[in-house]
Amino acid sequence: MAINTIVYQSIIEELKSSNTTLVAVSKTKPISDIEALYNLGQRDFGENYVQEFIDKVPQLPQDIKWHFIGHLQTNKVKYIVPHVHLIHGVDSLKLLKEIDKQAGKNDLIINCLLQVYIAQEESKFGLDEAEIEAIINELPNLNHVKVVGLMGMASFSDDENKVASEFKYLQSIYTKYSKLETPNCHLSTLSMGMSGDYKLAIASGSNMVRIGSLLFGARV
């Protein structure tokens, strides 16, 4: 178990020119690997599982910005809200309302990304356009969440045209809603791209990539 320093540094260099934020996805990886990347200057880390998230947070430096990128169940929101910097996977109004409620209890405002369904051939989580619209309409009633962007996962496929078209579709929705400027909806983050497809994602306007295995090695 070791991080790939050379790959890390080359990705950082690559992202600089497009002003893209790297979220280092550390799910299933040990504390020592996260510390190693932290010591190279990395501050944004992403986790997928609530139990693992709450185990890791107190063991690591407080200036880490924790991203919750996994599928989040409503009944677990309360455990992550006090520690999270950005929740990427908001895929229902019910979930957003629960985040709002728990954030209120903690006197916080939580930044969220709406997860959009873009992978045509796979059953991944995410909202369709009608559901996005419904959430946007509900936002004036929520005081402890901010929608700051969108997130999506493309099909797991070697077909670059297909993956690129899925990213372009998400970019078009992002562009559409970027025109909105309400107190708790102002899109500035487009989270798309993983180890296998982050270059295509950046070419389609991503400004936040979530990279795990390229940095930390394959997961078992």
CB closer to ligand PLP, 11 vs 135: 11
Taking the C-alpha atoms of 42, 111, 131 and 19 in order, what is their torsion angle to the nearest 10 degrees? -40
CB closer to ligand PLP, 74 vs 195: 195
Tell me the HSE value of 52 on the side-chain side, using a 13 A CA sphere: 18
CB closer to ligand PLP, 142 vs 209: 209
CB of 10 to ligand PLP, least distance (A): 15
CB of 178 to ligand PLP, least distance (A): 22
Beta bridge partners of 68: 47, 87
**Residue ranges that bind ligand PLP, judged by CB under 6 A:** 25, 27, 48, 69-70, 153, 194-196, 210-214
CB of 41 to ligand PLP, least distance (A): 19
CB of 58 to ligand PLP, least distance (A): 22
CB of 25 to ligand PLP, least distance (A): 4
CB closer to ligand PLP, 86 vs 142: 86
* Radius of gyration, alpha carbons of the chain: 17
**Strands (E) located in the chain:** 21-25, 44-47, 65-68, 86-90, 110-116, 145-152, 185-192, 208-211
Spatial neighbors of 188 by CB under 8 A, at least 6 apart, are 148, 149, 207
Alpha carbon 30 to its chain centroid, in Å, reads: 20
Taking the C-alpha atoms of 195, 197, 202 and 207 in order, what is their torsion angle to the nearest 10 degrees? -50
CB closer to ligand PLP, 110 vs 201: 201
